[in-house]
Amino acid sequence: MKQKPSLAEISKQVLKNLKEEVAFLSEMVKQGSVNDTASGSDQAHPEEGVARIIKHKLLDLGLRPKYVRARKHRPNVLVVWGPIRARRSLALVGNMDTAKPLWGNEQVWSSGHVNEGKLYGAGALDMKGGLATYVFALKALIDAGVDPAGQLKLAFTVDGKKDRNSNLGLRFLVKKGFKATAALLAKPGLDKIAIGHRGGYRFKIVTRGMSVNTGRRVWEEGKKGKNAILDMNKVIKKLSNFDLPFRPAKAFPGRVPVFTFPTKISGGKSVDFVPDYCEAWGDVRLLPGNTDLQVKMWMEERLSGLTDVDWELVDLLYAPAMEIERSNKFVQILYDQAGVILTKKPRVEGCGPWNEAWMLTCLSDTPCVAGFGPEGQDGTDPNEQEWVDIESLRKATEVLARTIYLYLGDVRSRKERVIEPTIPN
C-alpha cells in the first residue's frame, strides 16, 4: 500500500498551485456577482456566472458537483469528497454574491487585476478569496494523493449579502439536511479564529398622532391634533438605560449586549402641519443566550405605561448570536496549523458582526467557525478599492489544506492522531 502523504507534501502542492489559484480567483472576480436586486426575484441571478466557474473547476478536479436551487436562477453549488459513510465530516461554506461596492463603477468592480501582490475587485476579499482557498486546499489534497477517511463537503451559496436571513442560500440547504461534524465560514482575517459571532435584532417603532394645520384654531385651542414626534420622544425616554439580563460568554469576555435607539428617525409631512406619523429605528447587538423575544419583552414592559401614546413595534431582522467550544477538535487543529504556517498564532475568540455561521451552529447542530480566511482591504471606504493579499491567500489555503487532512484523516493511517488541547485558556 502506498504510504500516506506528509504535511510537507501538501504544503508543497499548495505553493505549486498558487498561480492557478490566483487565476481562478481573478476569473471569479471578473465575472461579477453584485447582489443589488430584490431578494427572491426570478429575474435576479447575480451568482449564476460564478457558480458555473466553480462547477467547471470542480469537474476538472474529477469531482461531481451539483446545483441545488431554491429558485431557478439562484444555484447553490455542492460537492462532496470522501467516503459516503464517514464518522467525521467537515463543511466549508461561503457565499458567491457580493454587496454593491461604494467605490468605483461596474468596470472597476470586476477588474480582477493583480498589482504588487494584491488582487483587486468586488468580492476579492469577502468572500471569493475564501472560496478559492476551499477549492485549492482540496486540489492540494487530491494532487498529494490523500485518501480521506472522513467526508469533505463544499457549499458555495447564493444570497449571502442580504440583511435579511436568506431562504435561498445556506439556510435553504440546512433545511434540506445539510450538516457536518464541524464547519468553517472563511470570512477574512488570519489573526483570529472566530469561535462565535454576536447576534443582532433590528426593529422600528411607529407612533401615530392626528394631523392638523398649525394655523387652525382647533390646534391653537388644543381641541384637535396630536404630535406623533413628541410621542416618539416619550418612547425614546422610556427605552433609555438598557439593562437586558445576559450571561457571560466564553467567546466574548467582558462584552455586553448593546441596545441603540434610535439610530434613525423620520416623521412629519410639512413644516406647517402637526405630524400624525413618526417612525424610529433601533439596533441591538446580542450575546449568546440573548434572543429577540427577550428584547421585545423588555421594550413592551417599558412602554406599557405609555397609555396616552399610540405605538407599534415592528420586527425587521433577527440573527442569533452563537459560539462553539474552544476545545472543539477542528478548532484545535486549525489553531495548531495556523501556528505553524503563520508568523504568530491567531487569537481564538468571537467576532463582532453576525454572519451565516449561526445557520449551521443553531439550526443543524454543526459547530461552525465563523471566520478565518485571507486578508486584505474590504472596500467599505468609498475611496478605497477591495483587494485580497495573495500571500495571505496562499497561507490561508495551506493552513486549511493541512487542517482538512488532519481532521478527516487518511484511510492509510493505522490510528487517528490524538489532538491534545493547545489553545491557551
Q: Is 200 helix (H, G, I), strand (E, B) or coil?
A: strand
**Parallel, antiparallel, or unpaired: how do β-strands 189-197 and 347-351 relate?**
parallel
Please give the Cα distance from 65 to 80 (Å, whole number): 7
Q: For residues 395 and 320, give the distance between their C-alpha atoms in angstroms, rounded to a whole number.
A: 31
Query: Residue 373: beta bridge partners?
Result: 189
Tens of pLDDT, residue by residue over 338-349, are: 999 998 899 999
Mean pLDDT rounded to a whole number for the chain: 93
* Calpha distance 137→143 (Å, rounded): 10
- Name the pLDDT band for 391 (thresholds 50, 70, 90): very high
pLDDT band at 334 (very low <50, low <70, confident <90, very high): very high
The pLDDT, as a whole number, for residue 380 is 86
Q: Residue 273 gets which letter from DSSP?
A: B
pLDDT at 163 over 60: no
Kindly state the helix (H) or strand (E) to which residue 369 belongs, with its residue range: strand 368-369
Model pLDDT for residues 53-75, shown as the tens digit of each residue: 999 999 999 999 999 999 999 99
Judge contact between 68 and 131, C-beta under 8 A: no
SS3 286: strand
What's the pLDDT tens digit per position in 119-149?
A: 999 999 999 999 999 999 999 999 999 999 9
Taking the CB of residue 161, how many other CB atoms lie within 10 A of it?
A: 22
Peptide linkage before 359 cis (omega within 30 of 0)? no
Quote the pTM value. Answer: 0.92
pLDDT band at 106 (very low <50, low <70, confident <90, very high): confident
Please list, in sequence order, all residues whose beta carbon lies within 8 angstroms of the beta carbon of residue 379, skipping any fewer than 6 positions away.
101, 102, 103, 122, 125, 385, 386, 387
Which of helix, strand or coil describes residue 170? helix
Domain ranges, ordered by start, for the chain? 7-198+322-408, 199-319
Dump pLDDT digits (tens) for 269-278: 999 999 999 9
Q: In the predicted model, what is the mean pLDDT of residues 104-110?
A: 84
In degrees rounded to 5, what are phi and psi of residue 184? -135, 135
Q: Determine the Cα–Cα distance for residues 154 and 91; give it in Å rounded to an integer.
A: 6
* Overall average pLDDT of the 227-233 stretch: 98
Burial 390-417 (b: 16+ CB within 10 A, else e): bebbbbbbbbbbbbbbbbbbbeeeeeee
Instruction: Tell me which amino acid residue 336 is.
Output: D
Of 320, 327, 321, the C-alpha closest to 348 is 327
CATH class, 7-198+322-408 region: alpha beta
44 pLDDT exceeds 80?
no
Whole-number pLDDT of residue 42:
40
Looking at residue 422, its pLDDT comes to 67
HSE, side-chain direction, 13 A CA sphere, residue 396: 35
CB contact at 8 A, 194 and 351: yes
Instruction: Kindly indicate the confidence band of residue 167, based on its pLDDT and cuts at 50, 70 and 90.
Output: confident
How many residues are recorded in the chain?
Answer: 425
Q: Which fold has domain 199-319?
A: Alpha-Beta Plaits (3.30.70)
Interior/surface letters 272-309, b for 16+ CB within 10 angstroms, e for the rest: ebbbbbbbbbbbbbbbbbbebebbbebbeebbeeeeeb
